């Protein structure tokens, strides 16, 4: 197989994805070619000497407070869809354990090392994958995991966080591990119940995913989430004091709540993009300090459509402004058939799901199996607004998050032209090459 020589700018993951007779190229874990800046020193190797992937006890752990953890019997690379892996092994009632689940478990008065013992993570430096605030990936190809350190952290280990004086630590690396899971029908049964069912909790009443019901299947990739949501400052009707996150398969987008004098704080028609197969969907509210305030029941919706291998997602961090995602074949900006964006959402090679104009996003462009040979360039434009905006582009392969890139736009970068790329104002994210 010949590789086309291409120029790679910001995307740090080179993917080789089969598209019938086509391949997509970029940087892969075993052939990294990155020019992105990083705060991480290359010497900070978070891959512990003892990997738990070969010896794990998969018996589940539960306690009087209702927590029930388990661990996959197989090990997976970090780029795998962890949710699918967990549910294929352990059943649909399980989801990937988040670092906040481990923190909550410990804060409920449980012994965190006893939990690791029950999961077969018994030796110093044993570790397994967990998400952090729903994200699998820290940056580039570094994937989050929880490691057993018993208070003694290796000097080469970069710790993002720790529990009980480094009894366990949160690390990240490009590696293969087992995945810790939690039964989503169990959990902390205290007043602040983060697994409450939306049908019985007034906090998330009228939680809906389009016209679907929990457990339904759909042939439509794009759906819209609406719900009443709690405000961490419950007395305020003028300002929302927190963040509403809509999670799909362990990856989230922020939603913009508004106040309705009948229903209270609500999110309305927040767009999400489903993957083929089972999708876990829930809403989580975080307070202004970044702590989980409340979490809805998890819905399962099955996508009954072909899994396209490559999806690009744009989000941004401020409301009241418009940022746009563009995918352009061979830089043919003026040819509508070669330019996928808000005016031309459906092309022969890609589809844009939604043009979000008022803040946060997401906007998703999905590459189609019908894409012809060529180079497809990814751009972001700051279309309208008056404030500084941090934009984020996430790249997904077969539903799994493989890379995250960010860029800061300033008010002087506003550019409403759709006919060309302006290197002084627009953000060139990277490319996809098919041959």
pLDDT at 217: 96
pLDDT at 424: 95
pLDDT at 47: 54
- Residues 26 and 37 sit within 8 Å (Cβ to Cβ): no
* CA angle (324, 142, 150) in 5-degree steps: 135
Q: Give the pTM.
A: 0.57
- Residues 159 and 170 sit within 8 Å (Cβ to Cβ): yes
How far is Cα 382 from Cα 413, in angstroms, rounded to an integer? 6
Sign of the Cα torsion 314, 318, 319, 322 reads negative
Q: How many residues does the chain have?
A: 435
User: Looking up tokens 């987008």, which residue turns up?
Assistant: 253
pLDDT at 163: 95
How far is Cα 252 from Cα 298, in angstroms, rounded to an integer? 13
List strand residue ranges (DSSP E) for 66-126, in order.
68-71, 76-77, 94-96
Q: Which DSSP state fits 5?
A: P
How far is Cα 72 from Cα 310, in angstroms, rounded to an integer? 26
Among the listed residues 396, 352, 365, 391, the one whose alpha carbon sits nearest the alpha carbon of residue 250:
396
How far is Cα 65 from Cα 290, in angstroms, rounded to an integer? 24
Burial of 418 (C-beta count, 10 Å sphere; 0-12/13-18/19+):
middle
pLDDT at 54: 39
Q: Which value, in Å, is the radius of gyration of the alpha carbons in the chain?
A: 22
pLDDT at 293: 83
Would you list the DSSP string of 308-341?
-SEEEEEEES-BS-EEEEEEEETT-TT-GGGEES
pLDDT at 188: 43
pLDDT at 135: 86
- Residues 350 and 366 sit within 8 Å (Cβ to Cβ): yes
Q: Which two tokens stand for residue 344?
A: 């031309």
Tens of pLDDT along the chain (435 residues) come to 222 323 333 443 333 333 333 333 332 222 222 223 333 333 345 555 444 443 344 445 554 445 799 999 988 888 888 988 888 888 888 999 999 999 989 888 899 999 999 999 999 999 999 999 888 888 778 899 999 999 999 999 999 999 999 999 999 999 999 999 998 765 443 333 333 333 334 468 789 999 999 999 999 989 999 999 998 877 778 888 889 999 998 788 899 899 988 888 999 999 998 988 999 999 988 888 777 788 888 899 999 988 787 899 999 998 889 999 999 999 888 888 899 999 999 999 999 998 988 788 899 999 988 888 888 999 999 999 999 999 999 988 777 777 889 999 999 999 998 888 999 999 999 988 877
Kindly give, in sequence order, each residue whose CB lies less than 8 Å from that of residue 273, ignoring residues fewer than 6 positions away.
Answer: 221, 222, 248, 311, 313, 353, 362, 364, 366
Among the listed residues 50, 51, 44, 48, the one whose alpha carbon sits nearest the alpha carbon of residue 156:
44
Burial of 138 (C-beta count, 10 Å sphere; 0-12/13-18/19+):
buried
Alpha helices in 65-111 (DSSP H): 82-90, 99-107
Beta bridge partners of 284: 245, 295
CA 227 from centre of chain? 20
């Amino acid at each position: 197989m010949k590789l086309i020589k291409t120029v790679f700018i910001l995307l740090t993951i080179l993917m080789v994805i089969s598209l019938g007779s086509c391949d997509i190229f970029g940087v892969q874990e075993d052939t990294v070619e990155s020019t992105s800046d990083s705060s991480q020193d290359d010497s900070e190797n978070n891959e512990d000497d003892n990997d738990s992937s070969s010896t794990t006890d998969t018996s589940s752990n539960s306690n009087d407070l209702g927590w029930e953890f388990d661990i996959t019997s197989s090990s997976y690379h970090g780029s795998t869809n962890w949710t699918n892996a967990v549910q294929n092994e352990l059943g649909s009632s399980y989801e990937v354990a988040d670092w906040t689940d481990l923190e909550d478990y410990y804060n409920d008065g449980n012994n965190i090392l006893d939990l690791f013992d029950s999961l077969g993570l018994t030796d110093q430096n044993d570790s397994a994958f967990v998400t952090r605030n729903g994200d699998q990936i820290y940056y580039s190809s570094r994937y989050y995991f929880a490691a057993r350190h018993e208070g003694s952290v290796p000097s080469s280990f970069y710790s993002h966080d720790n529990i009980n004086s480094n009894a366990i630590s949160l690390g990240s690396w490009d590696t293969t591990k087992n995945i810790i899971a939690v039964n989503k029908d169990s959990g902390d049964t205290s007043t602040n119940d983060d697994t409450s069912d939306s049908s019985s909790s007034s906090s998330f009443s009228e939680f809906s995913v389009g016209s679907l019901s929990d457990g339904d299947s759909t042939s439509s990739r794009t759906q819209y989430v609406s719900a009443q949501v709690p405000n961490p400052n419950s007395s305020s009707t003028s300002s929302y004091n927190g963040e509403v996150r809509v999670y799909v398969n362990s990856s989230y987008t922020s939603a913009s709540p508004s106040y309705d004098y009948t229903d209270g704080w609500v999110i309305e028609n927040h767009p999400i993009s489903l993957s083929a197969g089972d999708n876990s969907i829930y809403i989580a509210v975080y307070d202004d300090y970044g702590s989980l305030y409340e979490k809805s029941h998890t819905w399962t919706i099955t996508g009954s459509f072909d899994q396209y291998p490559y999806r690009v997602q744009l989000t941004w961090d401020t409301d009241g402004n418009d940022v746009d995602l563009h995918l352009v074949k061979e830089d043919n900006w003026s040819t509508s058939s070669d330019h996928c964006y808000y005016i031309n959402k459906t092309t022969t090679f890609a589809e844009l799901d939604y043009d979000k104009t008022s803040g946060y996003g997401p906007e998703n462009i999905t590459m189609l199996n019908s894409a012809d040979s060529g180079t497809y360039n990814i751009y972001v434009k700051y279309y309208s607004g008056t404030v500084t905006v941090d934009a984020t582009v996430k790249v997904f392969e077969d539903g799994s998050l493989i890379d995250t890139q960010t860029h800061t736009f300033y008010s002087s970068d506003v550019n409403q032209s759709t006919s060309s790329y302006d290197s002084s104002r627009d953000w060139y994210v990277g490319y996809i090459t098919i041959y």
